[in-house]
Amino acid sequence: MSENRVRRVAGQIKKDVSQIIGAQIKDPRIAGITSVTEVQLSKDLRYASIYISIYGSDTDKEETLQTLCRAAGFIRSEIGRRIRLRYIPEINFFLDNSIEYGAHIDSVIESLKKEENSDNDRSVQNN
């Protein structure tokens, strides 16, 4: 199967899963800010790894991930209604901390810039 088709189907699944989580799953255990960051499909389109970014505490993340894993059958059936495929992929959810990690790196860089600016100000005052 062409990689282009796999990429297109993965993009459509990402879009649909985002809509399903946001609009159709009304479980209070799902954190308010939950987003799908990536979908990886096997070449035969039978298995989908869905990476989820969740904003909140560690317990919120764990609870949301468990709730989504329990709702995988419902999400899979909704994907089957929305996308016409021979086989609807089996879904596995994984936690993606890349956005959180990026925010942490950004804050570290900002603090280093502030330190550098304060060091430059001190050297200018000494001259």
- The architecture of the domain spanning 3-96 is 2-Layer Sandwich (3.30)
- List, for residues 15-60, the tens digit of each pLDDT value: 999 999 988 888 888 877 888 999 999 999 999 999 999 888 888 8
Give the residue with greater pLDDT, 90 vs 25.
90
Q: CB–CB of 34/69 below 8 Å?
A: no
What is the dihedral sign for C-alpha 78, 84, 85, 87?
positive
So what's the pLDDT on residue 1?
63
For position 123, what pLDDT does the model report?
Answer: 65
pLDDT the model gives residue 66: 92
| Domain residue extents for the chain | 3-96, 99-127
Q: What percent of the chain has pLDDT over 70?
A: 92
